[in-house]
Amino acid sequence: MRRIISTVAAFAAFVGLGYAQTWETTEHTNAMDSVKTVFAEKDSSENPKATLVIRCTGKQVQVYVHTPEVISEEYGVRIKFDTGKPVKQSWERATNYQGLFSPMADDFLRSMKSARTFYFEYTPFQHIATTVSFDVTNLPQSMLDSCVSAAISRAEAREKRAREEQTTRLAQEREEQAEQAKNEAALRTKCAPFADETVEQVIRMQSPLPPEECWERLGWMRNDPTLSSYEKLAERRSMCELPSFAKDPSFCGALPSQSSEADSSPRLNDQLINNAMDDHIAKEALKGNCAQKWFANEHAKACKWVMEEAGK
């Protein structure tokens, strides 16, 4: 029975074949499972010779470079076809440390199909990087028939799918951008009628409450230091729906006439206290209003008084 050739043994067999400037092919069939393995090898143009090997096992393909030196494991490789740009890749080192396997054999063969020269840069152990080149034209038909043509077809199919996926993705992105621009324009139109309002006007129900989606677009609403969210604005406005607030011009309806903004808060606190002292209903209303945190913060004096009165 013919012995099954391992990867390392295959390297040794190719070294023993001698170097040549044309593709050298060999094949054998595994006596156990009748799977045929076909090799094609090509020596580099430089000395000492490196060898480019293509191996077909059934329909599976491997591409590797056998080197005359032990290879360092610390560095990757760079490859180039003809005058193309060098591409850095990580090729797997062989178990005998004198070979490097391509991680993408199908893509390699697709690139090799239309090339004349393949350049391969690797780093021998304790040496500087070395570049070798191979004439990759005229691959034997037996290799094309064995697995190379199928490998190239797989690579071309993947490239085609990748292009189609990219085209679809770009089309989707354009659609999403157009939809986003459309929505943005619609939002600007929707929020435009509220552009000249103020927080005070909205809270006092002198102006309509803008839609919630306008929160980020209307600076007068979003940037007000007394509001942390749209919900807070709506909550403040809803106070004017309560009987205890609705008829009080200090909180709802048209703004009361004030001599100056600076002294409005102290005078308003005094007014609230005087109203509560004369009217039990106003006193209870003030007590209820002080349960609202924002109200208690803005009218601390009045709320302190009514709480002290409640404790008596």
Residues 32 and 102 in one domain: yes
Amino acid 167 reads T
| Residue 123 located in a structural domain | yes
In a domain, 169, yes or no: no
Structural domain span for residue 284: 260-312
Cα–Cα distance between 244 and 282 in angstroms, integer?
Answer: 8
16/139 same-domain check? yes
291-304: average pLDDT: 79
Q: Is the CB of residue 95 less than 8 Å from the CB of residue 62?
A: no
Q: In terms of domains, do 241 and 264 share one? A: no
Tens digits of per-residue pLDDT, 126-184? 999 999 999 999 999 999 999 999 999 999 999 999 999 999 999 999 999 999 999 88
What CATH number does residue 64 fall under? 2.60.40.1880
Same domain, yes or no, for 248 and 265? no
Question: How many domains, in total, are found in the chain?
Answer: 3
Q: Looking at the structure, tell me whether residues 251 and 267 fall in a common domain.
A: no
**172 occurs within a structural domain:** no
Higher pLDDT, 27 or 1: 27
Q: Are residues 253 and 272 in the same domain?
A: no
Q: What is the pLDDT of residues 213-252, one digit of tens each?
A: 999 889 998 888 888 899 988 988 888 877 777 777 777 7
| SS3 category, 131 | strand
Report how far residue 23's alpha carbon sits from residue 136's, in angstroms, rounded to the nearest whole number: 9
Strand partners, 283: none
In a domain, 305, yes or no: yes
For residues 115 and 11, membership in a common domain is answered with: yes
pLDDT > 70? residue 8: no
- Banded model confidence at residue 35, pLDDT cuts 50, 70, 90: very high
